[in-house]
Chains A and B, each alone.
Chain A
Amino acid sequence: MRIYIYIIGLLLFSSSYAQENQTTFGLFPEASLSYKLLKNYSITHKFESQHGFYDSENLNKELEYEHTLTDLQTFIGRRITPFIKVDIGYQYRIEEGENTHRTIQQVSILQRESHFRIGHRVRIDQTFFNKASLLFRARYRIKGQIPLQGESLDNGENYLSISNELIYMIQSGEDDLENRLTAALGFYIDDKNKFEIGLDYRTDDFLVKDRFRHRIWLKFGYYKTL
């Protein structure tokens, strides 16, 4: 029930801005595959792709499909303690105009509470362009996972997943902020198979004068571990 309240809240909040600012809507499938390499080391491959269907400023204002971008990522992670993990990663982005390379470094911290758990993620990344200078970003994400049946998550149960991420970015001396709020319903098939479906609401251009952008994605992701 709670998830519907969040989704409605998100839609109401965003629609009030929609007329004055740029708003886009689309589909956002993602999938990740993780496996152990050695003791304490693991590899994760992730695919994510954005497909726009509506854009208040651009070409596809009348519900035209547009492939926005596709990211292919690979991470090598090392578990420092049962609660702390560090990762380095690489991303190749396929996008119209120019495909880019990105290097990523992150620390993830697991916080357990009696009824839910929280993942904190601190990440920095560097994006390399052919014709533009380096884009540097620093980001923090907090993501909560709340079981909807019982105190802990057992196979076949559902959970609520809520996250917010704040991103600071700087390129050629100009900086900006982006915020990403998501609310999703999670299906815990078992520990190695999880599916999440929900809304991802992104706002950016906070620090750019006379411009503010909203993007709403219907996101669905599969998390697989071997």
Chain B
Amino acid sequence: MSYYLRLLFIIFSVTYGVAQEKNEIEKRVKKDEIPNQAKEWLEDAFEQERRTKWYYQTDGEKQGYEAKLKQNKHLHSVEFDMEGKVENIEIKIKEDEIKEEAYQTIFDYFKSNYIRYSLKKIQIQYTGESDDLKDLIDEGEIENLVINYEIEYYGKTDKDNTLWEGLFDADGRLIEKRYVNLKLTDNLDY
């Protein structure tokens, strides 16, 4: 009985986001082009000097800068607005690093919505104020931060055979999802 109740709960709690397309453009930029505020925040938070790659990115509407660097063997992507104010941090993680409170709900969603699925990329995303994000990096403290999971996954249904990017909240509930448009493979296939 409790199994069915849980299943019902999951089905009703799933939010079906409007299916949008993911179409981002990013370009490598030199460190000199990055606002000082962003560079200073990064040096403060990560303390030691790290090899950092800077990018400019836009999805057509919103634009900003992104720093990519490694810490504790995890790839970190730090997003800044055009003025250099930090907005969020995404850390690439493995399946078993999804926090316990989210894990079950996320996988129940995949199991109940797809005949077959496979996870391609998982990122844990922390959003919050500049100081709280800094505390996360230099002290490992999670305070006043919104936690989401950005998961790129392949899901097969009776009708569909698609690559998705789903955003799940800290409890593992789906907030929204969008198609990932893979680039054409004509020059790789023929």
Contacts and interface: CB of A to CB of B under 8 A. Distances in A.
A153 B183 contact: yes
B186 A82 contact: no
- Chain A binding site: helix, strand, loop or mixed by DSSP? strand
A81 B183 CA distance: 14
Interface in B22-46: 25-28
A64 B147 CA distance: 69
B161 A40 contact: yes
B28 A82 contact: no
A77 B187 CA distance: 14
Nearest to B185: A110
Interface string B143-162: 00000000000101000011
Contacts of B184: 34, 191-192, 225
Contacts of B186: 32, 34, 44, 194, 223, 225
A77 B190 CA distance: 11
A81 B156 contact: yes
Contact of B189 (A77, A153, A154, A161): A77
Q: How large is the interface on B (under 10, 10 to 19, 20 to 34, 35 or more residues)?
A: 20 to 34
Question: Taking each of B26, B55, B163, B185, which has the highest tally of chain A beta carbons within 10 Å of its own beta carbon?
Answer: B185
A144 B106 CA distance: 34
Contact of A150 (B27, B162, B182, B189): B27
Contacts of A153: 183
B102 to A, nearest CB: 24
B188 interface: yes
A133 interface: no
Contact of A81 (B55, B75, B154, B188): B154
A98 interface: no
B27 A75 contact: no
Nearest to A80: B161
- Chain B binding site: helix, strand, loop or mixed by DSSP? strand
Given A81-B156, A191-B183, A119 B28 contact: no
Contact of B27 (A119, A145, A154, A196): A154
A86 B140 CA distance: 48
A77 B184 CA distance: 13
Contacts of B120: 112
A143 interface: yes
B188 A149 contact: no
A108 interface: yes
B87 to A, nearest CB: 19
Given A79-B161, A151-B26, A151-B28, A161 B154 contact: no
Nearest to A143: B188
B26 A223 contact: no
A78 B53 CA distance: 38
A186 B28 contact: no
A192 B185 CA distance: 10
Interface in B61-113: 75
Interface of B: 25-28, 53, 55, 75, 120, 154, 156, 161-163, 182-190
Those 3 A-B pairs whose CB atoms lie nearest each other, nearest first = A119-B188, A108-B189, A150-B28
Interface of A: 32, 34, 40, 44, 46, 73, 75, 77, 79-83, 85, 87, 106, 108, 110, 112, 114, 117-119, 121, 143, 145, 149-155, 161, 186, 191-192, 194, 196, 221, 223, 225
5 contacts: A34-B184, A44-B190, A150-B26, A150-B28, A154-B27
